[in-house]
Amino acid sequence: MSISVCVDGFEMAGEMVCIFGATGFIGSNLVRFLVRHGYRVRVYCRKTSNLENLAANECEIFYGTLDDEKSLRHALEGSAIAYNLAVCGENSQSYYDERVQVNVAFPERLARVALQVGLRLVHVSSTAAVGTPGLGVIADESFQFNNQHDHYAVTKAMGEQKILHEVGQGLDAVIAIPANVVGAHAMKSGQRLNFEKIAKGKMKVYPAGGVCLVSVEDVVQGLHLCAQKGETGQRYILGGNNVSFLQYFQAIACETAGKAPFVPIPGPLLKSAGYLIENFSRILGKEPFITEETCRMVSSFLYFSSQKAREKLGYVITPLDKTIKNAVHPTGREI
């Protein structure tokens, strides 16, 4: 275990928060937001973590592992709020054990330690843990989970249950549920590639489904609202604009002066292709570049309601065109 400060001589002031999973897309944007708003930020990560996404942010780096309760306790001490964004989002079979450890075992461990320390925990889940809405359905927090075939979704749902169990023991925790997030800073490579291909007119086909698209700025502010106003034990979907993939890609084309794809891929064909690719890759001993489950998801209409967060927290959703603009232009908006 070791502790370092990112910027020498920086005198941190204000409330201390501890963030797990801070080096990722949403996490690094949350760090930027909290530092800018005067919080003292402590980042918990492995010694091997890539800290590039945290560059130029004055925060304390605390090194430890997710299975070390002593280090977890030490990191949480002195903090008023902890945000858990640690996740294994890989869908392939080879990540089965890691998904269980990061998405289930760690939230249980963290919740137990947070209860002992006595602070508020904001656990970040996923709309995959809500379920897959049917055609014409917009799911909210009361939707009956139906993603039993998706191991990632199952582990995220189980992680939520671990948090709620500790809430029953007295833990002050709120569950935040982001939808499909886009943004300029540290966006995932797969999503960034979609923007680049469309800008160059190199994407010809698109999946027939739809997605709940939300700007990372909205999600980060939603996480802050969960910490400040969320009711203990409640779940809040932090979603955005429910749009088809064609509408999504057309918006990118409009903002980048590119060309939107024009050939839809029928759901059954896409899912069959995913099945073949995944299994053929397994035979070759390689990681598949796409899985059957991913193909199933993008062939579905994954639409979600953020009404609860809007009414209870004051959550605000950015319109689609501005969401895409902010994702294309790094200086489009400060959070």
Q: How confident is the model at residue 1 (pLDDT cuts 50, 70, 90)?
A: very low
Output the six-digit token pair for 331. 């200086």
**For residue 33, what is the domain's CATH number?**
3.40.50.720
Domain membership of residue 44 (yes or no) is yes
Domain membership of residue 256 (yes or no) is no
Residues linked to residue 180 through DSSP beta bridges, in sequence order: 213
Domain membership of residue 84 (yes or no) is yes
Q: Is 1 helix (H, G, I), strand (E, B) or coil?
A: coil
Domain membership of residue 19 (yes or no) is yes
pLDDT digits (tens, 9 = 90+) for 182-211: 999 999 998 999 999 999 999 999 999 999
Domain membership of residue 259 (yes or no) is no
pTM, two decimal places: 0.90
Q: Is 155 helix (H, G, I), strand (E, B) or coil?
A: helix
Q: How confident is the model at residue 331 (pLDDT cuts 50, 70, 90)?
A: low
Output the six-digit token pair for 207. 């999946």
Domain span at residue 13? 3-179+214-239+304-317
Domain membership of residue 232 (yes or no) is yes
pLDDT digits (tens, 9 = 90+) for 63-74: 999 999 999 999
Q: How far apart are CA 323 and CA 155, in angstroms?
A: 29
Domain membership of residue 162 (yes or no) is yes
Domain membership of residue 296 (yes or no) is no
pLDDT digits (tens, 9 = 90+) for 209-227: 999 999 999 999 999 999 9
Report yes or no: 300 and 132 within 8 Å, Cβ to Cβ.
Answer: yes
pLDDT digits (tens, 9 = 90+) for 68-116: 999 999 999 999 999 999 999 988 888 999 999 999 999 999 999 999 9
* Single-letter residue type at 61: I
Sequence-ordered list of residues with C-beta below 8 angstroms from that of 64, at least 6 positions apart, any chain: 1, 44, 45, 46, 71, 72, 74, 75
Report yes or no: 255 and 328 within 8 Å, Cβ to Cβ.
Answer: yes
How many independent structural domains does the chain possess? 1
Kindly tell me the burial class for residue 7, based on how many C-beta atoms sit within 10 Å of its own C-beta (0-12, 13-18, 19 or more): exposed
